[in-house]
Amino acid sequence: MNPFLLLRVHRGAATLLALLALSASLLVAGLPRGFEASYDAALHDIMRGSPASLTDVVVRLQPMMFQQNLKSEAEFTGKDRIFRAGLPPALTSVLDTGPGNDSHFAAKTFGTPVGGRVSGPDAPAAQYVELGWLSGVDKRVRYVAGGPPGPPAIVKSVPGYPNLKDVKRFDIALAKSASDKMKLPVGTTVVLGNSRPALARVTGLFEPVAPADRFWAHELNSIQITVRRTDADTEEQHVTALTSEASLRQLDNDARDLNYSWVIAVDSAAVDARNAPAVIQGLTEFQSFLTRTNAGSITNYQQVAGFAGFDLDTALGLILGDFLKRLATAQALLFLILGGLVVVAAGVLALAVQLMTERMRSALSLARARGASIEELVRAVVGTVGLAAVPAVLAGYGLSYLLPGPVTPIVHMAPLVITLITLAYAGGRVAVVHRKPLQERRDDIAARRPSPRRMTLEILVVAIALGGAYLLRDRGLTTGVAALGADPFLMMVPAALTVAVALITLRCYPYPLRLIVWLAARARPAVPFVGLTLAARARSVTALPVLILLPALAVSVYGSVVGATLDSTQRRAAWMATGADARVDRGAELPADVIERIRHVPGVRTVVPADRGVLQIGWGGKTAIGFAVDLDAYRRIVADTPLAVPPAAPDVPPPAVPVLVSPDLAGLTSFEVGWHVRMNLVKRGVITGGLAGLSFAENNLIVMPYDASKRAGARPYTNTLLIEGDGIDGAALRAAAGNRPDILVSTFDEALAKVDKSPLTSTITSSFVVVTIALAVYALLTVIIALVVGAAERARALSFLRTLGLSERQAASLTVLEITPLIVLTACAGLLLGLALPPTLGPGLDLGIYAGDLSIQAYELSLTTPILLAAGLAAVAVAGAFLHAVIGRNRSLGSILRVGE
Amino acid sequence: MNELDTPADLGTPTLSELEAEAVHTRPAFGEHAHILCDNLVRIYKTEGVEVVALQGLDLLIEEGELIAIVGASGSGKSTLLNVLSGLDVPTAGLARVAGTDLLSMTGKDRLRYRREIVGFIWQQTARNLLPYLTARENVKLPSRLAGKRARTAHADELLDLLGIGYCADRRPGELSGGEQQRVAIAVALSNSPEVILADEPTGELDSESSEQVFAALRQANRELGVTAVVVTHDALVSEHVDRTVGIRDGRTSSETLRRASSDGEIIAEEYAVLDRVGRLQLPRDFTNALDMERRVRLELERDHIGVWPDKPRPEGAE
């Protein structure tokens, strides 16, 4: 039995098998790559979006004793070497060691006020100038005036400051922009500090060569000033000036508060979804290394009192931890759909193998009868199937390398598993079928009874699946993943549930069919009766298609339910965030001209003004959040959104103000509050659950009419605008508001984009689409292959009927009728399973992080999409049956009757 | 008379006589037969209904014999052939072919049996041969399956012997039905089996081809000394064998022996089969003609046994 010859003879089936193997291999090797690539892209987005000061590893020291003072760059380098030697390998591998990386050391003072100016213009405000030495800064700045700072000097006396004698004078360089704002031109000398002061002379002004350089994220205060408002009118200006390395000798913790830092640059491209857990672990190890170093450096008793140790300062662990939490959910979801895809792909491959072995069946039976051992048959079939499938799997595996994405073990494993399943199925099937050669010939009289062994096995599978589903609900799929890793048993639960439902469907499938056959038998037309009877008797065709169609549908429906829920929750989150199509907020009152300009922004239809603030209840210290808005007007502008607005409080005679209060204030019936003016409020209703979209507060909330202040004798105030309209451009609104930083403009579209464009969300939705399409194609193929497998037998049955007067059209409808009950019943089971999966897995799979942190309470059972999917898939499958019947129609009756003779 | 039932009037045997008797082994039933079926039973169970295909069949075939098995449809002849070919296992009884007990074979034995002891030919011409192999390759296939070196010369010899040497390089599609069946015979003979079994080998052929195929079978039987069992409906075939065994209701019912008379004519004599417990099947024609039902009367005569219907004997019938 030469496999090459068999391959040539059965080239049609072999080609189909090869194509399926190729596509399955490409999908199972390519999709994980795509998933990994998108995980990495998401992480890199997050890493790039975070400033270097958060993602780099920084070791800080605030020296408390003179022994801890570092006097030269060499000393910093020495410490740096120790730190780097103590870095665990997981961290070493993600460090940025390339040219121009932002690793550096810094020594900076902090909290140094400018005590006065010796020379130069007057200070515009209270100022703080810190002295800072940054290693390697010379290459990162360009001097636009003066020159780099020189070594420090001792000044005998300072004009205008008779108390100052023999003071240190540091040369400093300032960023040009800082110098302009703080009025510190070259030549200015200032007194730093109030106690034990020193002088600082501005010798140069610089501009950063590349302000966007990650280096400057750590030293932002050196290239721009920070303005701190202490009260309404006074400002403090803070800046860190650069000084020379020589100044390190004179900078000590004695006179000034000092901070040392060692920045160890992390290459954000080197951190990916796979090494992130190791990096987090590495940070913990590094932290304990620093603790050990600190403990080791305490050598005497006095040191303990004033000791300050090295601190690890990085948000890398937090960022990665947060990402991993999101990732776990995404991975669980994608694992589910990938698992479904693998099950379906393997099923279709098995079906193609079945087609091939059916084609070889007579030859194999002959060979078996002529003295071939089972091993020889298995070898021949496995060889042939292998010749067809293995090169195709390899090709698919190779093609997957064209897709972007890192290579993970699953990329190698999945095609291997596909190959093994295919070959094992081929070999196993042949061995079982030809173990007893006569069995096939007596198929006609010996109907197999369900064996107790098989029943037990099936009951066991169903029990395990149900038990797993219970555990999954109980323990969750993603809880503790970071600590314990994903539980493979729980990950298998959806697949097990699918198999369980498929088994139940297979067992129960004849019962509804029997009823239909009973009805059909009483009807006049013969075709439905014969077709349905054929369907009821079909054995070989049933099991595999059910096992394929069911997960295909379940996964698609599950995907659509999850997708719809995610979408609606994201929209709800976006509505909650803005409360209207657009919203303008300001801490203080919005000027009337701004409101007027906003009314004229294109797209704006209605503007509902509102006022929000903290009001004082009675004369005591109790406060509440007050919201003055015309609820009826607001309800009109959010009529078509998920936001529910309570009815406005029934009116009361002025000057009293009717209000709605949160339940905790329900005890107050008539009370006085202080806001813009003192007001008398009358409680006319209670609102529970806060004011969705406007205020997240559920307690201490008082909602009053917009004109409440006016009733109380003042004028209405406005600090919030709720805007309704179409296609409102956030930028246009901002421009209308004067692009002022204190006016906050948000639009629904922006809020939605922020939620649904968040990393990984698009991966999840697009993966569902890809997998659903692949599954639909597989479902179509399943039906066609299943029909082709039984084609010879059916053709004979049909041709006998045609000799009795069955028309071609009736023959085609017979084929369709034969397969339809299976498809329809499986579609129903798949639909139910798909709808049942989200609530079953729901508690175990927290999608909240993809929905703007709004927890998903209940899955949206909008039945339209799932039913359309099920109907579509069923229609596609039935169309496949029809196609098969139509193609079969072209054969002549004579040729069909000879089939199988 | 049975040897063991020593009549009392011959005197009590001595102890030594009894001992001698105990160690003396009598030849068992059909001990030297090449194919032996003793009280063979095969029951198929179908959804609670049992179909008894063979109900205590006895059959002895000597080495090198060429016999035909005939019988109506459903009489059990195909079941018998399946049992003999090792494709089916009998429910009870004894079946032995060339010293191999067919009831106690393991899977390995069964494989060896198929590889070395039997070869067979099905009715459907297309089913005997792999359509994509040439006649020669088909003939070599069993040897290759058995892991032996397949000699082309041997295959050609076989094809020549059966008169189809010219077909060696053709595929089954290019052969006539008769040629296909003759190639099938060559395939069945390829492993030099001791027995070949043919299930209606001429069932799909016209009379001329049938004759050729049968001639080939007989050729193989004569030249190679292989025992041949042919299940057939074909009167033409059954007339050309030494012995025809008829099967009815799962039992051998009749045998027809043919011998050449002194003047060269073939004389066929039909016998009913008397089994080991003395059961006899009367031909249905006979029983119908005399309206025999349920009971008959037997009378032992000096050299025969008379069988009479169970009704009053007409006056003067003797």
Phi and psi angles of residue A486, each rounded to the nearest 5 degrees, phi first: -70, 145
Give pLDDT, residue A361: 83
Q: Cα distance from A370 to chain B (closest Cα, Å)?
A: 6
The answer to whether the beta carbons of residues B159 and B168 sit under 8 Å apart is yes
pLDDT of A383: 92
Is residue A532 a part of any domain in this protein?
yes
Distance CA A784, CA A773 (A): 17
One domain for residues A279 and A239: yes
CA neighbor of A631 nearest in space, from A579, A675, A590: A579
pLDDT in tens, A601-626: 888 888 888 888 888 887 777 888 88
Average pLDDT of span A520-531: 77
- pLDDT greater than 70 at residue A860: no
For residue A899, give the chain B residue with the closest CA. Answer: B126
Domain end position, chosen among A708, A741, A774: A741
Q: Looking at residues A865-878, what average pLDDT do you find?
A: 78
Looking at residue A427, its pLDDT comes to 92
Q: Residue A576's closest CA among A734, A752, A726?
A: A752
User: Is 60 exceeded by the pLDDT of residue A723?
Assistant: yes
A290, A204: one domain: yes
Inter-residue contact B197 to B118 (CB < 8 Å): yes
Answer whether residue A377 is part of any domain.
yes
Q: What is the pLDDT of residue A899?
A: 43
Give the tens place of pLDDT for each residue, A640-674: 777 778 887 787 777 788 888 888 877 878 888 88
At A220 the pLDDT is: 85
Q: Among the ranges A7-21, A539-553, A731-745, A813-827, which has the highest mean pLDDT value?
A: A7-21
Query: Residue A596: which residues within 8 A CB-CB, separation 6 or more?
Result: none
Distance, in Å, from the CA atom of A128 to the CA atom of A110, rounded to the nearest integer, reads 9
CB-defined contacts A:B, below 8 A: 51
Yes or no, beta carbons of A901 and B128 under 8 Å apart: no
Nearest of A726, A698, A562 to residue A570 by alpha carbon: A562
High-pLDDT (> 90) share of chain A, % = 3
Within a domain: residue A405? Answer: yes
Q: Is residue A822 part of a domain?
A: yes
- Give start and end residues of each alpha helix (H) in A738-892: 748-756, 761-789, 791-803, 808-841, 864-888
Range of the domain at A41: 1-50+327-446
> Tens-of-pLDDT digits for all 318 residues of chain B?
444 444 445 567 788 877 777 666 655 666 778 898 888 898 887 666 777 888 888 888 988 888 999 888 878 888 888 888 887 888 888 888 888 888 888 878 888 888 888 888 888 777 788 888 889 888 888 888 877 777 888 889 889 988 888 988 988 888 888 888 889 989 888 888 899 998 888 877 888 888 888 888 888 888 888 999 998 877 777 777 888 888 888 888 888 888 877 887 778 888 888 877 777 888 788 888 888 888 888 888 888 888 888 877 655 544
Q: How much is the pLDDT for A608?
A: 86
Helices A808-841, A526-537: axis angle to 10 degrees equals 50
Specify the pLDDT at position A449: 58
A140 shares a domain with A110: yes
| Of A539 and A53, the one with more pLDDT | A53
Q: How many CA atoms lie within 13 A of A199 on its CB side?
A: 27
pLDDT of residue B120: 83
What residues of A are in contact with residue B111 (Cβ under 8 Å)?
371, 373
CA A889 to chain centre: 51
Q: Using CA atoms, how far apart are residues A278 and A859, in angstroms rounded to an integer? A: 35
Task: Give the per-residue pLDDT at A854.
Answer: 57
Q: What is the mean pLDDT of residues A696-700?
A: 75
Q: Which of B144, B187, B194, B197 to mutate to test the interface with A (most CBs of A within 10 A)?
A: B144
Question: What SS3 state is found at A198?
Answer: strand
Beta strand B66-71 with B243-248 is parallel
Q: What is the pLDDT at residue A717?
A: 84
Q: How far is A349 from chain B (nearest CA, A)?
A: 26
Residue located via tokens 């009733």: A711
- List, for residues A357-390, the tens digit of each pLDDT value: 888 888 888 888 888 888 888 999 999 999 999 9
Residue A402 belongs to a domain: yes
pLDDT of residue A390: 92
ipTM score of complex: 0.74
CA pair distance A781, A788, nearest whole angstrom: 10
Question: Of the residues A741, A769, A792, which one is the last residue of a structural domain?
Answer: A741
Instruction: Determine the Cα–Cα distance for residues B227 and A161; give it in Å rounded to an integer.
Output: 135
> pLDDT digit string (tens) for A484-505?
555 666 667 777 888 888 888 8
The CA distance from B308 to B292, in Å, is 8
Number of domains in chain A: 4
Residue A723 lies in a domain: yes
Rg (CA), chain B: 23
Query: Residue A750 carries which side chain, given as an amino acid letter?
Result: E
Neighbours of B33 (CB within 10 A): 19
User: Do A46 and A56 belong together in one domain?
Assistant: no
Residue A672 vs residues A615, A678, A687, A708: alpha-carbon distances, Å: 10, 7, 19, 12
When pLDDT is averaged across residues A155-167 and rounded to a whole number, the result is: 84
Alpha-carbon distance of A97 to A385, in angstroms, equals 51
B118 → chain A, closest CA residue = A370
* Chain B residues close to A445, C-beta within 8 Å: 44, 46, 51
A442 vs B contacts (CB less than 8 Å): 44
Distance (Å) from the alpha carbon of A889 to chain B's nearest alpha carbon:
25
Q: Which domains does chain B show, CATH number per domain?
A: 63-90+101-272 (3.40.50.300), 283-318 (no CATH)
Q: Are residues A539 and A431 in the same domain?
A: no
pLDDT digit string (tens) for A435-475? 765 544 444 444 455 678 878 888 898 898 888 888 777 76
From the list B119, B128, B132, which residue is nearest A5 (CB)? Answer: B132
pLDDT of res. A901: 38
What is the pLDDT, as a whole number, of residue A485? 52
Q: Within this chain, do residues A97 and A57 fall inside the same structural domain, yes or no? A: yes
Name the closest residue on chain A to residue B117, using Cα atoms. Answer: A371
Q: What average pLDDT does the segment A858-876 reach?
A: 73
The string of pLDDT tens digits covering residues A398-436 is 998 888 888 888 888 888 988 998 999 999 988 888 876
Is there a domain that residue A505 lies in? no
> CA–CA separation, A494 vs A469, rounded Å?
8
Q: At which of A314, A341, A365 does a domain end? A: A314
Provide the pLDDT for residue A392. 93
Check if A362 contacts B (Cβ < 8 Å).
yes
A680 and A544: one domain?
no
Is some CB atom of chain B closer than 8 A to the CB atom of A372?
Answer: yes
| Statement: the pTM of the whole predicted model exceeds 0.90 | no
Quote the CA–CA distance of A847 and A833 in Å, as a whole number: 20
- Arithmetic mean of pLDDT, A541-549: 71
pLDDT at A538: 61
The secondary structure element, H or E, covering residue A191 is: strand A189-192
pLDDT at residue number A396: 92
Tell me the mean pLDDT in the region A18-39. Answer: 86
**pLDDT value for A117:** 86
Determine the pLDDT at residue A488.
Answer: 64
- The partner residue sitting opposite A445, judged by closest CB among B46, B124, B130, is B46
The three-class DSSP label of residue A636 is helix
User: Looking at per-residue confidence, does A807 or A91 come out higher?
Assistant: A91
Highest mean pLDDT of the ranges A380-394, A589-603, A683-697, B137-151: A380-394
Helix axes B207-224, B177-189, angle to 10 degrees: 20
A838 close to A859: Cβ distance less than 8 angstroms: yes
Query: What number of CA atoms fall less than 13 Å from residue A129's CA on the CB side?
Result: 34
Residue A843 has pLDDT above 70, yes or no: no
Contacts of B87 in chain A (CB under 8 A): 369, 437-438
Most trustworthy range by pLDDT among A127-141, A288-302, A541-555:
A127-141
- Check whether residue A681 and residue A601 sit in a common domain: yes
Tokens of A717: 């105030």
What does pLDDT average to over chain A? 80
Check whether residue A539 and residue A523 sit in a common domain.
yes
The verdict on A56 and A46 lying in the same domain is: no
What is the pLDDT, as a whole number, of residue A442?
A: 44
> Which tokens go with B11?
């005197």
**What does the pLDDT average to over A880-898?**
62
The answer on A234 and A88 residing in a single domain is yes
Same domain for A288 and A254, yes or no, is: yes
Nearest CB among A369, A371, A446 relative to B146 is that of: A371
Of A69-78, A219-228, A344-353, A557-566, the one with minimum mean pLDDT is: A557-566
Report if residue A501 sits inside a domain. no
B11 to chain A nearest CA, in Å? 57
pLDDT of A861:
61
Say how many C-beta atoms besides its own lie within 10 A of residue A570's C-beta. 22
